[in-house]
Amino acid sequence: MDKRRLIIYPILLAITLAIATRGFATFGTDGLLIPFLVTLGYFTIFFVVAQLLTNNSIVDIGWGFGFVLGSWTTLLITDEPTLLSYAIVGFLTLWGLRLSLRLLRRNWKKPEDFRYAQWRKEWGEHATLIAFFRVFMIQGIINFTVGVASYTVIKFNTFAFDGIIQWVVIAGFSISLIGLFFEVVGDEQLRRHIKKGSKTLMTSGLWSITRHPNYFGEILIWIGIYITGAALINSDISIGYYGALVISPLLMTLVLVKISTPLLERHMEKYESWDAYTQQTPMLFPGTKPKK
């Protein structure tokens, strides 16, 4: 592991701890430290199982359920959950379980994903130690950081169906539901396309307006949940703190745009119609100019 990462990892951990404890001010059940520790413990268990299976790519299966675990842990330490608290937990449970179960079915008894297999070769004799930090702990930190805005709303919101705030919250939840629609329908369209035995690109349905409807949907989900943070007005959470938690949808968007999408697109370049598809269909956001 290079010296730069030895510096970066403690800094990332400190930043995430600051977020979980609201600036190192609230520990225990008064903040979000417990959901953070539970998330790290969860990904540590995945690390142990991955080493037994010699398959680090199983961490992808655990991604969705990490939010389920984080949201339920937050609910359990919430003194007076509101209807919105239960709604967000229910939504994340539905979304997270669907995602993890889908990946479990798709990857069951399959060899390690090509990306993780390549990293294993590159890391050589230190692959186990490096994987713990660069795959599992980083995923745990990112998982919690992406989910922290939703956990903050679950624990601290004072939502009631009155005033203009309710419409902002409803708008945010509607955006998340649209995102879920893009994920579910996009995945189902692709599943049916693959089931036909076609060796061609999927370019119809939602795949005709974005090359990655599932990724676009996930971005909408976290933007929508962040908007429901309007329900925190008049709560113990300051506007400044929740403003800083915009890192939640921004981090998810950054990971999908800069890491996940380019990796997947390089894998898709093998299709003959790829160049024509990229010239006609936006990479992620419908209505934008298509580009590689």
Q: Which residues are CB-contacts of 70 (< 8 A; sequence separation ≥ 6)?
A: 35, 38, 39, 143, 144, 147, 151
The pLDDT assigned to 39 comes to 97
Overall domain count for the chain: 2
Q: 261-292 pLDDT, tens per residue?
A: 998 898 888 888 899 999 999 999 999 988 76
Count the neighbouring beta carbons within 10 Å of the beta carbon of residue 139.
Answer: 19
The pLDDT assigned to 108 comes to 86
Of 101, 135, 156, which closes a domain?
A: 156
Going by C-alpha positions, the residue among 99, 93, 36, 39 that lies closest to residue 64 is 99
The pLDDT assigned to 156 comes to 96
Q: What is the mean pLDDT of residues 197-204?
A: 86
Average pLDDT, the chain: 92
Residues 109 and 166 reside in one and the same domain: no
Residues 91 and 218 reside in one and the same domain: no
pLDDT bucket at 1, cuts 50 / 70 / 90: low
Six-digit token string for 220: 């909408």
Q: Which residues are CB-contacts of 6 (< 8 A; sequence separation ≥ 6)?
A: none
Of 106, 124, 156, which closes a domain?
A: 156
Residues 61 and 110 reside in one and the same domain: yes
| Residues of the domain holding 54 | 1-156
* 75 pLDDT more than 90: yes
Of 156, 177, 209, which closes a domain?
A: 156
Residues 4 and 128 reside in one and the same domain: yes
* 66 pLDDT more than 90: yes
Residues 236 and 273 reside in one and the same domain: yes
| Cα–Cα distance measured from residue 189 to residue 182, given in angstroms and rounded to the nearest whole number | 10
Q: 50-63 pLDDT, tens per residue?
A: 999 999 999 999 99
Residues 5 and 150 reside in one and the same domain: yes
The pLDDT assigned to 2 comes to 61
The pLDDT assigned to 106 comes to 85
Q: Say whether 116 sits in a helix, a strand or coil.
A: helix
The pLDDT assigned to 246 comes to 96
Q: Both ends of the chain: CA-CA distance in Å?
A: 32
Residues 140 and 72 reside in one and the same domain: yes
Window from 82-91, 110-119, 128-137, 146-155 with minimum mean pLDDT: 110-119
What percentage of the chain has pLDDT greater than the value 90?
71
Window from 99-113, 141-155, 237-251 with minimum mean pLDDT: 99-113
Residues 101 and 245 reside in one and the same domain: no
CB burial of 90-101 (b: ≥16 within 10 Å; e: otherwise) equals: ebbbebbeebbe
Q: 139-170 pLDDT, tens per residue?
A: 999 999 999 999 999 999 999 888 899 999 99
* 221 pLDDT more than 60: yes
Residues 24 and 70 reside in one and the same domain: yes
The pLDDT assigned to 3 comes to 66
Residues 214, 220, 226, 230, Cα dihedral to 10°:
-150
Going by C-alpha positions, the residue among 242, 238, 220, 236 that lies closest to residue 174 is 220
Residues 101 and 176 reside in one and the same domain: no
The pLDDT assigned to 222 comes to 97
Q: 4-63 pLDDT, tens per residue?
A: 777 888 888 899 999 999 988 888 889 999 999 999 999 999 999 999 999 999 999 999
Residues 87 and 219 reside in one and the same domain: no
Going by C-alpha positions, the residue among 172, 150, 173 that lies closest to residue 70 is 150
Residues 167 and 31 reside in one and the same domain: no
